[in-house]
Amino acid sequence: MPLLSRDYYTQDATTVARTLLGATLVRQIDGRRISGRIVEVEAYHQQSDAASHSHRGQTPRNQPMWGTPGHAYVYFTYGMYWLLNAVCEPVDYPAAVLIRAIEPLDGLDLIAAHRDGRSPKEWTSGPGRLTRALAITGDLNRADLTLQTSGLWIETGDPVPDDQVKTGPRIGLGTRVPEPWLSMPWRWWVANNPHVSRVRAGSG
């Protein structure tokens, strides 16, 4: 399948987030392909969005958000986890989409190895889990998602129709994030998909 283009990522973060559902996230390691269907995302807008890393201005960590759209913004958090974002909107407009969950497609043996001992439902159902499953670390910060040479890219997939998409507030924001940002419905996921994060009985 063709790769998503620079022009695609240059759109606003809301549009990119919604349409990334159904696309295929691909990682290539030593010629082996690991991939998954994107089933959960969150949009982080520009500096007016108090929940976004870009809110308090540019820092060494969040600098990729101001950079070229279509590149990866990979950051380390909680002392343990790498989180993957796709940079959106034009240069100098700091916005990104957080990839929160994928449905494994290719390279299941490698994913299982990276997620040693866990059940398939826990392989990629969360932003910190999927980066471990795909061996994504800070080495891939600023990687160009529109090129296969980066080892990390996104391909087009089957679009997910509106009746299979749910939206709601973003997850994991601290209570210090003020309204209305705390409640903005900028999380999108595929309804009833078992690989979406924080799935509990009846909440899919």
Partner DNA sequence: ACGGAGATCTTCT
Partner DNA sequence: GAAGATCTCCGTT
Is residue 183 near DNA by the rule CB under 7 A?
no
Smaller CB separation from DNA, 86 or 149: 86
- Residue 85 pairs in a beta bridge with 73, 98
Assess 172 for contact with DNA (CB under 7 A).
yes
Q: Which residues from 137-156 bind DNA, rule CB under 7 A?
A: none
3-state secondary structure of 4: coil
Q: Which span sits near DNA by CB under 7 A: 16-24, 143-151, 158-166, 173-181?
A: 173-181
Q: What is the DSSP letter of 159?
A: P
Nearer Cβ to DNA, position 8 or 44? 44
Q: Which long-range contacts (CB under 8 A, 24 or more apart) does 1-5 make?
A: 1/155, 1/156, 1/157, 2/155, 2/156, 3/145, 3/146, 3/147, 3/148, 3/153, 3/154, 3/155, 3/156, 4/70, 4/145, 4/146, 4/154, 4/155, 4/156, 5/70, 5/146
Instruction: Give me the 6-45 binding string for DNA, x by CB under 7 A, dash otherwise.
Output: ------------------------------------x-x-
Q: How far is the CB of 79 from DNA (least distance, A)?
A: 2
**Site residues (vs DNA, CB under 7 A):** 42, 44, 51-54, 56, 59-62, 65, 73, 76-81, 83, 85, 96, 98, 115, 118, 122, 126-129, 170-176, 197, 200-201
